């Protein structure tokens, strides 16, 4: 996963996500926040740049202090390629499976893929 920090990259991502509304709305809000100073200390991750398949936003790992606080540990996701989303879930450390978290996404397949990985890992999902 690549972390986008460059203002030009964030603006380009913002423009791309606007074209994918309403499905990209949860991610777009966080990207806009990060691009405008990032007072909440979030980060924007993509699987590749500039032709990304999935965007994930989350609180910076150094800001996560409570492993049980799923309100603070929120992530948002938007994908253009469901295979990239599934690869992110199964093959990266973008999500800390040892901590409670919330995941927000508006596309069909977001939670189905998540549920499959949770079950394969023997974890519980509420």
Q: What is the pLDDT of residues 15-65, one digit of tens each?
A: 999 999 999 999 999 999 999 998 889 999 999 999 999 999 998 888 777
Q: Is cis: bond before 22, omega within 30 of 0?
A: yes
Residue showing tokens 């040892």: 98
Whether the Cβ atoms of residue 26 and residue 78 lie closer than 8 Å to each other = yes
pLDDT of 101 strictly over 80: yes
* Strand segments (E) across 1-126: 2-4, 42-46, 54-59, 74-79, 102-104
pLDDT of 9 strictly over 90: yes
Nearest to residue 109, comparing CAs of 117, 101, 120, 100? 117
What per-residue confidence (pLDDT) applies to 35?
Answer: 94
Which are the contacts of 123, defined by CB distance < 8 A and separation ≥ 6?
97
Its pTM stands at 0.91
């Amino acid at each position: 996963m690549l972390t986008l920090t460059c203002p030009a990259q964030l603006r380009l991502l913002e423009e791309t996500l606007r074209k994918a509304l309403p499905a990209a709305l949860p991610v777009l809000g966080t990207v806009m926040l990060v691009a405008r100073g990032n007072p909440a200390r979030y980060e924007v991750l993509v699987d590749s740049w500039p032709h990304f398949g999935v965007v994930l936003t989350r609180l910076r790992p150094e800001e996560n202090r409570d492993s049980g606080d799923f309100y603070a540990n929120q992530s948002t996701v938007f994908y253009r390629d469901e295979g990239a989303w599934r690869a992110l879930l199964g093959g990266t450390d973008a999500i800390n499976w040892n901590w409670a978290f919330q995941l927000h996404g508006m596309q069909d397949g977001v939670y189905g893929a998540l549920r499959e990985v949770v079950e394969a890992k023997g974890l519980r999902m509420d």
